[in-house]
Chains A and B, each alone.
Chain A
Amino acid sequence: MNARRSAGLAAVGLYGGALAVAGVLAAAGLGPAGTTADAATVASAGSVSGSATGSATGSETGRAVAPAPVVPPFTGAVAPGPAPSGPDAVPTATEGTDVPARPAVFVPTRLVLPDGTAAPVVPVGLHDDGALAIPDDVRQVGWWTGGSKAGEAFGSVVVAGHVDSAVRGIGVFAELRRLVAGQVVELDADGSGITQTQRYRIVSAVKVPQARIAQDAGIFRVDGEPQLVLITCGGAFDRERHRYQDNLVVLATPLP
């Protein structure tokens, strides 16, 4: 089973490598533009990728196949044929083994930063105005329920947290500002005596103007290469409006 999965994951990795070129091109669209064009970014080549296209899913090859015809069952009373005879004439059907292709797909409950700091992760949705509902507790961070779970083969796992709060002070995600490419972060989930873990290697950190983050196709995508997206605030702080100019977005790719 392990060989099976590792082969599958390695193949996904190769598949991901093949998409890296497309990813580099997509990455050019990621990040600030216009008025904040002079914000410095630390970006590595290659791993930020956009959405899967027809060629990436191979859909131009092969014959089209449609769902099989579904026949409604007949419910009238009909005399049955002769029953199979003998006490062992009807064997018990084997149960098909349905195995998940990925070793562990889970909703994260804990994020561990490279310095060992652990932050609880809670599932979050949206406020009525569409803003992501970040946990008020600055020691906690939120996992966006519309994104991928940890371990999924496609799409972004999005975790966001406060860099600071007027009421509660410096947040655990202030640490994102100190992260550099190559460091490892980890998502965990505890349950039934087993801890599920997925580790990610940081590849880049980008500042995106807050007003533009919703338009960034790479951050909240559910398709394409799997990635971890950590979001907090960054850039200049506007004391009049009590808000930061940018979001700081840290991207990481899953490790096998």
Chain B
Amino acid sequence: MGGAWRRRLRAGLVVLLLGGAGVLVLPAGAGAATAPTTGQVYLVQGLVGTPVSVELDGHQVAASAQPRTIVGPLQVAAGPHVVVLRAGSRPVTSARFTVVAGRSIDVVAHRGADAARAPRIVVFRNDLTPVGPGKARLVVAHAAVAPPADIRVAGSVLFHDVASGESLSLLVPASTYAVDVVASVGGGAILAPVRLPVRAGTLTRVFAVGNPGDGTADAVVQVLPVGVTGAGRPSRVPTGDGGQAAQEFVGDTPSRLPFALLASAIAALLLLRTGPARRALALGSRRHSK
């Protein structure tokens, strides 16, 4: 591994970081009309404070992956593989994992819930199934050195008692959301509130990483495109051309409708004098005002 490569890679990282306020969205997996033989792999570097080199099956794919960066996408043949992360020549962590053709996975290096134990790797599958118009799939994962947590979106606990290595997903309308993570027991902060833009037509993943105990807690955000399925808004809803129902419903004629409704409601009250009828009247029959 020569110095020239290091300089180029570093320059590339600098370019990415300087230019990178925008969303870096990469094409989805290789699944075309023909049966795919590869899967898509991202390596999420969640080891705060430890730049690592990344080897896949003995071949280096990243010389110095900084903490809170993502290496990828890799198109990898279906089947078993081995990833090794090193600091210098010393292995930091390694794992076997399986690639399934046509699927997309995140191989996430993180410290686990216990800072005293060795870093570990957890593999999350990316759900790239299409979402409805104007929506996104938001997935928040707990990969921090912290006990089980409540993940809060817009101040409400949407994900309760999530342990390190677990994640929950939610279909949300595109918007900017306040996301924070607190310990389920005791409420201690695990990830301070972040403003997360969630764009329509994406899988937006948030990994809570680091150790709140030493101030290194942070969020790693990954955005992948997903398909959008579903019709646009209707211009009208034509649901009747026979008129039989108008005949059937007492008093439902053009000139007498409002008065007939009022009259039948009053008649119902007088005749029935029961709870449900009283409630139905209380709710309405008031003229609609604008």
B-binding residues in A (CB < 8 A): 3-4, 7-8, 11-12, 14-15, 28, 31-34, 37-44, 52, 54, 56-78, 80-84, 89-102, 105, 124-126, 129-132, 134, 144-149, 152-155, 160-171, 173-174, 177, 180-182, 204, 206, 210-211, 213-214, 220, 222-224, 231-233, 235-237, 239, 242-245, 247
Contact = CB atoms under 8 A, between A and B. Distances in A.
Given A74-B62, A101-B159, A181-B283, 15 more contacts: A12-B158, A40-B257, A42-B280, A62-B193, A68-B70, A68-B221, A90-B96, A96-B106, A105-B171, A126-B231, A134-B237, A145-B231, A177-B245, A181-B280, A237-B243
Contacts of B24: 67, 69-70
B124 A37 contact: no
A16 B236 CA distance: 29
A220 B154 CA distance: 23
Interface in B236-270: 236-246, 248-249, 252-254, 257-258, 261-262
A4 B244 contact: no
A27 to B, nearest CB: 11
A61 B193 contact: yes
Contact of A64 (B20, B68, B194, B239): B194
B24 to A, nearest CB: 5
- Interface magnitude class on chain B: 35 or more
Contacts of B59: 77-78, 80
Interface of B: 1, 5, 9, 12-13, 16-17, 20-21, 23-24, 26, 42, 44, 53-55, 58-63, 65-66, 68-74, 82-84, 86, 89, 91, 94-97, 106-108, 120-125, 127, 132-135, 139, 141, 153-162, 165-173, 175-180, 192-196, 219-223, 229-246, 248-249, 252-254, 257-258, 261-262, 276, 279-280, 283-290
Contact of B123 (A65, A96, A129, A222): A96
19 contacts: A8-B159, A31-B290, A33-B288, A61-B178, A66-B221, A73-B71, A73-B73, A83-B84, A96-B108, A96-B122, A126-B234, A132-B234, A155-B135, A177-B245, A180-B280, A213-B234, A214-B236, A222-B134, A236-B257
A71 B86 contact: no
A252 B239 CA distance: 19
A9 to B, nearest CB: 9
A162 B165 CA distance: 49
Nearest to A168: B242
A136 to B, nearest CB: 11
B290 to A, nearest CB: 4
Contact of B158 (A66, A101, A105, A245): A101
B227 to A, nearest CB: 13
Nearest to A99: B168
Contact of B243 (A40, A147, A224, A239): A239
A130 B123 contact: no
B60 to A, nearest CB: 4
Contact of B155 (A58, A170, A204): A58
Contacts of B179: 62
Minimum-distance CB pairs A-B, first 7:
A62-B193, A233-B240, A58-B178, A130-B235, A42-B284, A125-B231, A223-B173
A213 B236 contact: yes
Contacts of A34: 290
Contact of B167 (A71, A97, A171, A224): A97
A113 to B, nearest CB: 15
Contacts of B219: 65
B177 A58 contact: yes
A204 B5 CA distance: 67
B245 A37 contact: no
Given A101-B169, A154-B173, A42 B285 contact: yes
Contacts of A38: 258, 287
Contacts of A220: 233-234
B45 to A, nearest CB: 9
A39 B288 contact: yes
B287 A70 contact: no
B91 A222 contact: no
Contacts of A162: 239-240
Contact of B248 (A58, A62, A165, A170): A170
B242 A166 contact: yes
A8 B159 CA distance: 6
Given A71-B62, A94-B165, A145-B230, A54 B235 contact: no
A63 B65 CA distance: 24
Given A15-B156, A99-B168, A181-B279, A169 B234 contact: no
Contacts of B124: 95-96, 98
B175 A93 contact: no
B117 to A, nearest CB: 12
A213 to B, nearest CB: 6
A146 B161 CA distance: 33
A176 B183 CA distance: 47
